[in-house]
Every structure is written in structure tokens, then in C-alpha cells.
């Protein structure tokens, strides 16, 4: 079992397979970064998997593939199959913007993927385009339909932004309800890479919008999930991911691995340790030692504060590198 320096059990590894993306979401990567990580610095799937096996053997039972846009990386289905074949009962999920799902969903399902979290910020083509800076909506909706058709579990992530898509919170909820899928509203996490012109919504403001049409009851956090769940009077459940809330990090069970092999203990902070040398040399003992050190030093909590966001609230870590 993996326990961090604050006594929390860590059983969830998120693996970012690329920082590259085919969208330019205003809250994540509004502009192409000055430079991408050179391809030769990326770990191969075999190298990533070598570390993942160490983590699985030591207690990780949930893996999420993310990015950047993970579907851009060639051979992803083979990678998923490697993980699935090693431990078929592992909770294996992927986060995607869905743009490439129409042509990949079946292959991912066949490889052993169980669930998808899909980002959907608007149902209006022009608003989706404003956020992603590309005309994406029709293809994203096709991707969601395809994922459901092939039998993948689907959850929707929406990041509400003031004056942009905040008037679509109820519409996105209706869209999800009609398909019997869960929506999770994510508070915008201030970070230095995002567009300066956007403003996120606090969890309580998101809930106010839902209350305009529904009565809601709090269900609470589902185990170590980042999502605080609510239920509507008609029984529909939705989630709120509220990293600004003071108790958000209490049960954090996650660590993150980037495509170049940086093991990151917390989404907010820049601190990381590389497992690249260890896996390139096939040194399992060294990889395990890096894992132990990262767990020992995992911060107690992030610094997105609940009230009065200020300079301190702005993380310098890029979401497209860490995978959210």
C-alpha cells in the first residue's frame, strides 16, 4: 500500500502521454507553447509502463490516461492493452476532448479501456469555438455518441467561465441527463498558462445556477474522488470539482506522471522528480525509490484559496503537461 507523508493512501496514478493538443482551450493552452518537449525526451510506452507496473505492484489500482490530448499519441490502444493485460481488473480510464473519438472509440474499448471523461464546455458551436479556439462542437458530439455506442462509460467535464458559458450549466446538465451520464462541473483553477481574459466560477456560484431550476441535496464526496456529489429531486446525480474548497485535499489519493517521466505529487505545485533515468536503465529499485520520495514529500494541500483569489492562487504548472 502506498501512503504519503500525511497519512493518505495513494492508489491513483494519472499518466499524461503527451502535452500536445489539437485544441487551444482558453483555460489551459490558449497559445501553442514556445516549445514542445522534444520527441526524443518523451518516454516510450514501454518505459512509462515499466514505472506503472512498479506503482501497480505497490498499490495503485486506478489509472487515468490523459494529456494534452491523449488520442494524438500513436499506438495508444496498444498501451491501454498492455495495462489491461497486466491487471485486467484495474480501473482504467481516459480523459479526452473527444475530437478523435469517432475513429478511435471502438479500438480503445477493444483494448480494455473502461471509462472516459470527456470535456464539453458548450453546446453552442460559436461558444465551443470561442473556448477551444477551433470549430469543434459537431465532432465532439459525434465522439460522445460513438463512445456511448461502443459501450464505454462516459462522464462529462465542464469548466464554467463567467460571461462565456455560465448560461449553459443547466443545458449541459439536461444534455447529460437525457443520455443518462454524469456531469461534473470543474472550478476553473487559476494558472499562469491560461488566457488572462477569463474568469472562472466558484462552486457556490455554479450551484446557484443549478438551483435556479432544481432543488438539490448534497451527497458528499465519493471516497477519495475529487468530486463532491449532489442529487436533484428527480434522482439525477451530478458532481462539483471544487479545488478551492478548504477540505478538497484531505483525501487526495493521486499522483501524476508526465510524458517525459516527471512524477508530480500535486497539480498545483511545480515540484517533480524524474523517473526517466530509472526506467531507461530498467532499474526497478530506483523507480520505486523515486516513488517513495515523491509520496513522502507530497504537499498537504494546494494553494487555490477559497476566498479572494489573489496572486498566490495562480499555479505556474501547466494543465496540458500534467493532464489536469
Closest to 314 (Cα-Cα) out of 170, 196, 179? 196
Binding to ligand SAM by CB under 6 A, coded x per residue (else -) over 233-252, reads --------------------
Select from 7-15, 64-72, 75-83, 213-221 the region that touches ligand SAM (CB under 6 A). 64-72
Task: Specify the residue, 112 or 324, whose C-beta has the smaller distance to ligand SAM.
Answer: 324
Establish if 29 lies at the interface with ligand SF4 (CB under 6 A): yes
Binds 29: which of ligand SF4, ligand SAM, none (CB < 5-8 Å by kind): ligand SF4
Task: Specify the residue, 188 or 319, whose C-beta has the smaller distance to ligand SF4.
Answer: 319
Q: What is the DSSP string of 100-124?
A: THHHHHHHHHHHT--EEEEE---SS
Residues between 71 and 100 that touch ligand SAM (CB under 6 A): 95-97
* Least distance in angstroms from the C-beta of 22 to ligand SF4: 7
**Cβ(171)–Cβ(128) under 8 Å?**
no
Binding to ligand SAM by CB under 6 A, coded x per residue (else -) over 186-205, reads x-xx-x--x-----------
Task: Specify the residue, 192 or 218, whose C-beta has the smaller distance to ligand SF4.
Answer: 192
Cβ contacts of residue 246 below 8 Å, gap of 6+?
306
- Total site size for ligand SAM, rule CB under 6 A: 21
Please calculate the CA angle 47-29-35 and round it to the nearest 5 degrees: 60
Task: Specify the residue, 97 or 122, whose C-beta has the smaller distance to ligand SAM.
Answer: 97
d(CA 317, CA 306): 19
Q: At 277, is the secondary structure helix, strand, or coil?
A: helix
**Cβ(2)–Cβ(9) under 8 Å?**
yes
Q: Of residues 111, 120, 156, 159, which one binds ligand SAM by CB under 6 A? A: 159
Establish if 263 lies at the interface with ligand SAM (CB under 6 A): no
Residues between 28 and 47 that touch ligand SAM (CB under 6 A): 28
Establish if 69 lies at the interface with ligand SAM (CB under 6 A): yes
**Cβ(113)–Cβ(101) under 8 Å?**
no
* Least distance in angstroms from the C-beta of 164 to ligand SF4: 14
| Phi-psi label, residue 153: left if phi above 0, alpha if psi -120 to 50, beta otherwise | beta
**Cβ(123)–Cβ(172) under 8 Å?**
yes
Q: Which three cell numbers stand for residue 157?
A: 467535464
Q: CB count, 10 Å around CB of 300?
A: 12
* Least distance in angstroms from the C-beta of 324 to ligand SAM: 2
Task: Specify the residue, 160 or 230, whose C-beta has the smaller distance to ligand SF4.
Answer: 160
Q: Of residues 13, 15, 17, 25, which one binds ligand SF4 by CB under 6 A? A: 25
Task: Please tell me what DSSP assigns to residue 52.
Answer: H
Establish if 28 lies at the interface with ligand SF4 (CB under 6 A): yes
Closest to 92 (Cα-Cα) out of 52, 57, 54? 52
Closest to 119 (Cα-Cα) out of 87, 142, 93, 144? 144
> Which residues of this protein are in contact with ligand SAM, per CB under 6 A?
21, 27-28, 66-67, 69, 95-97, 119, 157, 159, 186, 188-189, 191, 194, 319-320, 323-324
Amino acid at each position: 500500500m502506498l501512503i504519503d507523508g500525511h497519512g493518505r493512501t495513494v492508489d491513483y496514478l494519472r499518466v499524461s502521454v503527451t502535452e500536445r493538443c489539437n485544441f487551444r482551450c482558453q483555460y489551459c493552452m490558449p497559445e501553442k507553447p514556445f516549445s514542445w518537449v522534444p520527441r526524443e525526451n518523451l518516454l516510450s510506452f514501454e518505459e512509462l509502463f515499466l514505472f506503472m507496473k512498479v506503482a501497480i505492484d505497490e498499490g495503485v489500482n486506478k489509472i487515468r490516461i490523459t494529456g494534452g490530448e491523449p488520442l494524438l499519441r500513436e499506438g495508444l490502444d496498444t498501451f491501454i492493452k498492455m495495462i489491461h493485460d497486466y491487471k485486467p481488473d484495474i480501473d482504467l480510464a481516459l480523459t479526452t476532448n473527444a475530437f478523435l473519438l469517432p475513429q478511435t472509440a471502438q479500438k480503445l474499448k477493444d483494448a480494455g479501456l473502461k471509462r472516459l471523461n470527456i470535456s464539453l464546455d458548450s453546446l453552442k458551436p460559436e461558444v465551443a469555438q470561442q473556448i477551444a479556439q477551433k470549430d469543434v462542437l459537431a465532432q465532439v458530439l459525434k465522439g460522445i455518441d460513438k463512445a456511448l455506442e461502443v459501450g464505454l462509460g462516459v462522464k462529462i467535464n465542464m469548466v464554467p467561465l463567467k460571461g462565456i458559458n455560465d448560461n449553459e450549466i443547466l443545458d449541459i446538465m439536461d444534455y447529460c441527463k437525457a443520455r443518462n451520464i454524469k456531469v461534473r462541473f470543474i472550478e476553473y483553477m487559476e494558472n499562469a498558462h491560461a488566457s488572462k481574459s477569463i474568469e472562472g466560477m466558484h462552486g457556490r456560484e455554479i450551484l446557484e445556477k443549478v438551483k435556479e431550476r432544481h432543488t438539490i441535496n448534497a451527497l458528499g464526496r465519493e471516497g477519495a474522488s475529487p468530486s463532491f456529489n449532489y442529487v436533484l429531486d428527480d434522482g439525477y446525480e451530478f458532481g462539483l470539482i471544487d479545488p478551492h474548497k478548504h477540505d478538497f485535499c484531505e483525501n487526495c489519493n493521486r499522483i501524476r506522471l508526465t510524458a517525459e517521466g516527471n512524477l508530480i505529487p500535486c497539480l498545483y505545485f511545480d515540484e517533480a522528480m524524474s523517473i526517466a533515468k530509472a526506467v531507461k536503465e530498467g532499474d526497478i529499485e530506483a523507480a520505486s525509490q523515486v516513488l517513495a520520495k515523491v509520496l513522502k514529500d507530497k504537499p498537504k494541500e494546494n494553494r487555490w484559496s477559497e476566498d479572494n483569489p489573489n496572486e498566490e492562487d495562480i499555479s505556474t504548472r501547466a494543465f496540458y503537461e500534467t493532464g489536469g
